[in-house]
Amino acid sequence: MALLKVALDGTLQLSAGLLQQAGLRPADQVQISITDSGLELRKTDTAPAEQLSRAISRKNLQTGVQFIKGVGPKLADMLAKRGIKTVEDALFCLPLRYEDRRELVPIRQLKPGSTQVFFGRVISAETLTTKGGRKVFEVLVQDDSGSILCKWFHSNPVWLKRVWQVGKQGLFTGEVSSFGYKPELHHPDVEWLPEGADLHEVLSADPINFGRIVPVYPLTEGLHQKAMRRVMHQVVETFLGDLVGLIPEQLLLQQGYQPLQQSLRYLHHPPHDAVLQELNDGRTVAHRSLAFDEFFYWELGLALKRQGVSLEEGIPFQVSHRYTKELAQLLPFQLTTAQRRVLSEIKADMMAPHPMHRLVQGDVGSGKTLVALMAALIAVENGYQVAVMAPTEILAEQHWHTIHHWCEQLGVVVVLLTAGMKGSHKKEVLEQVADGRAAIVIGTHAVIQEKVTFHRLGLGIVDEQHRFGVLQRGILKKKGSNPDVLVMTATPIPRTLAMTLFGDLSLSVIDELPPGRKPIETRIYYESRRTQVYELIRREISQGRQAYLIYPLVEESEKTDLKAASQMAEQLQQGAFPDLRIGLLHGRLKPDEKEQVMSCFKRHDLDILVATTVIEVGIDVPNATVMVIEHAERFGLSQLHQLRGRVGRGSHHSCCILLVSGPLSEDAEKRLRVMEATSDGFRIAEADLEIRGPGDFLGTRQSGMPDFRVASILRDGAILEQARTAAFDLLAREPGLHGHQKQQLREELIRRWGTRLELAGIA
């Protein structure tokens, strides 16, 4: 008979052995009943009740805003324009800024540069005409301490005169400015007091809009701040309790963050002692906690995806050196140490029994294509096919020229497949891919179209990954049986962005340029110095060198004054350089015409190559030492850096001239100064990201960038690093995220990012 012990505090202690006999675990809840025969312990199953509660909360959060008290169809339509369709959308619609309405400020104490609230009476209201003939509606408002002028520009004076009647009293809110050392308000908000009403009664009757730090929400046409605040107040008070933060509280405390509900309440209803500046700068613990929450789930998804890849059965390639050794002997140069290191990392991945998922980053001219070709040949040696996917037809064609050139000598069949291909030629290429005659298939999105069937795909190579998303990578993978995936980019991607987009990939960096490369001198020249630019070109050509002249358009358009490539090639031949050999290269030329022009330039049959950005990637002419970029202010930093990388590829001193046509905008000035200051691709990428923001930096094609509601990869880089570490650590401790709370975390992850990260197969 087992003895039960009663502790000093009156609790009953059961031994581990007894628990085991009863089929109980430490986390179980039990119900104790006293019966005639003694104590009866019964395990209580709380799971169904808890699941029901969670299901109700989830349903509440998905409630359409039109069903919120006080919101009808009309207001719901306005909110939908702001992306607020459900209660959950509303909870995460954070204020743009905050106004301090904790206390009324006497007019005499109003400070320019701040938004303040004061009480006053209208003394005068009239339309005045300035010396320049401009009509301004002016209202003088007064309290016991002094008076202030309120002004309206471009408004309806008849309507204003009707609203702003002399003698009316109200509560005024607006940003105080100054004119001639006197404070004034432009277009203030006003809350009129009913005649004879007591000010303090009015304030206490409207606690949403007065007597506190008031949130200012984003609006849309027809939606007013007062109505928006009322809706948001209702949502927070009624539904915030349904939102459950699932990140373990211990984990949040370790990182210095607070739970989800607490953070949202703080930001929608800031406490009386909150610091206004911190709220407006987005620097509160609540802001940081919400950013961590968003980053954590995204990184957890990437960690799960990576874990899923490592658990999948892949192709354990053997390295026989059948083609790779022969290619190395054909090359007129040695691989750099960085290329060899990255190739070793790729080989190790390819030999492993699970699929490779690796990102190779390398600056312009670092030799990524050659590394990718070596990896492709390992797959071909093993009897597998390789798909190379590039974002544009031009880039796909350039890869085909380079890879085809070497593979032809090795006896490896390489085909090009683009959306522009037609008829029998396309049919023949598709047949070669399907029956396995084509060992390497190079193309655009056409490579992952449904009608493309591979005989035995073993490796997918994605170039310029930042133009593709996670989904395209997933489609490419489905073309084979868990093929290896190698991702390349010549656009140096800042660490925070790489962690956000490619957290499921292993990273290799080719951080060394081929030997003999010299730094490229970069200078900004204005149109007035064009003659000097032409003299510099002539001087270089007289020494046996060659030059590029880059233009943003192919042919001139009536809508723009930009110099166009085809017209300028003609003008230069007839005007500045009649004695020199000038070639023209642009995207509208047929592939064989492009190849002919490029071959002529490489053979030095041309002195100057006039081109559009078609030469951004892929042309390697060591003898070209001058790059002139016309209308340089119209190009992005990343593109300028790619273009500049076409020179400085030999042992001669090279220069890049950024020719600008007129006054520069602030952003254009920043871009060009960065180009002058550094040739480090990663520093340029960081600057580009700061100037343009992640969306523009990645380009309009990008579909892999997550839509964060609160977090910013620019502002919150340190939080992103913390979230990544926390997510990967949690998964290392809890592989697969099983167990009660972990399962909830997993469900929430799939709800948020499942489709975007293609987690269905892993979850």
Cα-based torsion angle of the residue sequence 434, 437, 439, 442 in order, rounded to the nearest 10 degrees: -60
Residue 78 gets the label, from left (phi > 0), alpha (psi -120 to 50) or beta, of: alpha
pLDDT per residue over 689-738, tens digit each?
A: 777 666 565 554 444 567 788 888 777 888 988 998 898 888 888 776 76
pLDDT at 271: 93
What lies within 8 Å, CB to CB, of 475 at 6+ separation is 448
Q: What is the pLDDT of residue 83?
A: 86
Helix and strand counts by DSSP (H, E) for the chain: 26, 25
Q: Whole-number mean pLDDT of the chain?
A: 83
Q: Minimum mean pLDDT among 125-139, 172-186, 311-325, 467-481: which range?
A: 467-481
Domain covering 103-211: architecture: Beta Barrel (2.40)
Q: What fold characterizes domain 324-510?
A: Rossmann fold (3.40.50)
What is the structure's pLDDT at 700?
40
What band does 383 get if pLDDT is binned at 50, 70 and 90? Answer: very high
pLDDT digits 0-9 by tens, 641-681: 888 888 887 778 999 999 998 788 888 888 899 999 888 77
Q: What is the pLDDT of residues 633-647, one digit of tens each?
A: 888 887 888 888 888
- For residues 686 and 637, what is the distance between their CA atoms, to the nearest angstrom? 10
Q: Do 324-510 and 520-678 agree at the fold level?
A: yes
Q: How many CB atoms lie within 10 A of CB 589?
A: 16
Rg from Cα positions in the chain: 34
Strand locations in 372-451 (E) = 385-389, 414-417, 440-443
Q: Which of 40-49, 147-156, 191-200, 546-555 has the lowest mean pLDDT?
A: 40-49
Residue 750 clears pLDDT 70, i.e. is over it: yes
The b/e string for 319-358 (b: 16+ C-beta within 10 A; e otherwise) is eeeebbeebeeeeeeebbebbebbbebbbebbeeebbbbb
Vertex 528: Cα angle to 525 and 530 (nearest 5): 65
Return the domain boundaries, the chain: 5-44, 103-211, 324-510, 520-678
**Given a cut of 70, is residue 427 above it in pLDDT?**
yes
- Residue 8, pLDDT > 60, answer no
The whole-angstrom separation of Cα 24 and Cα 21 is 8
Cβ-in-10-Å burial (0-12, 13-18, 19+) of 361 comes to buried
Q: What is the mean pLDDT of residues 216-220?
A: 88
Alpha carbon distance 102, 572 (integer Å): 69
User: Which strand (E) or helix (H) includes residue 204?
Assistant: helix 199-205
Q: What sign results for the dihedral spanned by CA atoms 386, 414, 641, 521? A: positive
Asked whether the predicted pLDDT for residue 431 surpasses 90, the reply is yes
Positive/negative CA dihedral, 471, 473, 476, 480: negative
What CATH topology corresponds to 5-44? Answer: Pemi-like Protein 1; Chain: D (2.10.260)
Evaluate if residue 762 carries a pLDDT over 50.
Answer: no
What is the token pair recorded at 144? 């016991």
Q: What digits encode the pLDDT tens for the residues 502-536?
A: 777 788 888 777 666 677 899 999 988 999 999 99
**Residue range 172-180: mean pLDDT, rounded:** 86
pLDDT of residue 701: 40
Per-residue model confidence (pLDDT) at position 760 = 46
pLDDT tens-digit profile of 245-292? 888 888 898 889 999 999 999 999 999 999 988 998 888 999 999 999
| Strand arrangement of the beta sheet that strand 582-585 belongs to | 520-526, 654-660, 624-630, 546-550, 608-611, 582-585
Q: How far apart are CA 376 and CA 387, in angstroms?
A: 9
How much of the chain, in percent, has pLDDT values that exceed 70?
85
Task: Just give the CATH number of 520-678.
Answer: 3.40.50.300
pLDDT exceeds 50 at position 763: no
> CA–CA separation, 471 vs 704, rounded Å?
7
